[in-house]
Each structure stands twice: as structure tokens, then as C-alpha cells.
Amino acid sequence: MTTWNSRGLRGAGLEELINRTNEKYLEKGLALIQKIPTPITPINIDQTSRHITLAYFDKKSTVDYIGAVQGIPVCFDAKECAVDTFSLQNIHEHQVTFMEAFEKQRGIAFFLIYYTHLDLFYYLPFDMLMFFWSRAKEGGRKSFRREELNPDYYLPKHNGILVPYLDILQKDLEDRDYT
């Protein structure tokens, strides 16, 4: 059972960066992206502060974020990686299933990966994830190396925008010939 004070809160710093980015995008009228809360059931509550000190996750969540960018439905998940090899066990089957169904409805699904040791953000399009996912399912590597990634999908440094994923979302749309 995953609990509130265990692995479930890894990446909270990354999510704060993305949340602030989403606020900026909303202020500028570029996107409406919302964080999807993970449903929890409290086990212990500190009676003096009314804070949850221990809880378990009710059900598997789908993705971290969902919304629209200039009328285009988007969903994405954020992951952190401390080395150059990203293990696919950090991505769950139910997430892939949800993203696949989302894409079939003409939405855009992707992952934002933060390589913490390099301070680099990467936009992983769903089709690229599926290449790695299928390879693993067929008995191949259960991870992918950073050098396997398309270098055009690293997020640029941007003044005022902490995680400027819209720049690369535009590239993804162009590469897909999304119309």
C-alpha cells in the first residue's frame, strides 16, 4: 500500500514548478491546465493542526495534468530522473492506457521528464514513449537512455517561464501535422 509519507510525494518540487508555469500560461491566455489531485483516504490526522499525517491512495490516478492549449486537449504526466537512464517502471500501465485513449480522441499526451542531475527538462511525446514501451513488452530494454531521445525535444531556458513546455508542444504538433 502506498502511503502519503512514502514514495507517493516524490517530484513535489517539479510539480510546483509546473503549477507556477501553468499559472503564467493561464494569465497570458495561452492555456488552461489543471493538476489532477490524487484521491486519498486519511488514516492519521494531527488533531492540533488538522493536517493529514498518514493516508493511502484510494485508486490509481491517470495523469498529473489535463486541460486545453488554444483549443487542443492535452494531458501529461511529470517524472523526475536522477540519472541518464529512465526506467519504464516509473510509468504505469493504466497511465499508458489512459493516454492512448486520450490520443484516440485527438488529444495530445506527453510526459515531462526532469533530469535533476543535469537541470534539464525533456518533452517526451506519446508516440516516442510507445516505441520504448513496446520494445520493453517485446522483451527489450525496460528503460531508455537519454542519448536515445530526440535532442529537439529538450525544453529551452526561458525568462519568466519555469517549465516552458508550450514551445515544444508546438514542435510536437508540427511534427504530427496536427490540423
The domain spans of the chain are 7-176
As its CATH architecture, domain 7-176 has 3-Layer(aba) Sandwich (3.40)
62 is in an annotated binding site: yes
At residue 177 the predicted structure's pLDDT band, cuts being 50, 70 and 90, is confident
What pTM, to 2 d.p., does this model score?
A: 0.83
C-alpha cell at 72: 487542443
Can you tell me the mean pLDDT for 141-167?
A: 93
Higher pLDDT, 149 or 160: 149
- Rounded Cα distance between 84 and 144, Å, is 9
Three-point CA angle 123, 126, 132, nearest 5°: 95
Residue 9 predicted with pLDDT over 50: no
2 is in an annotated binding site: no
Residue type, 95: Q
Q: Whose grid coordinates read 542531475?
A: 117
User: 65-69 and 72-81 as β-strands: parallel, antiparallel, unpaired?
Assistant: antiparallel
Q: Is 8 exposed, middle or buried (0-12, 13-18, 19+ CB in 10 A)?
A: middle
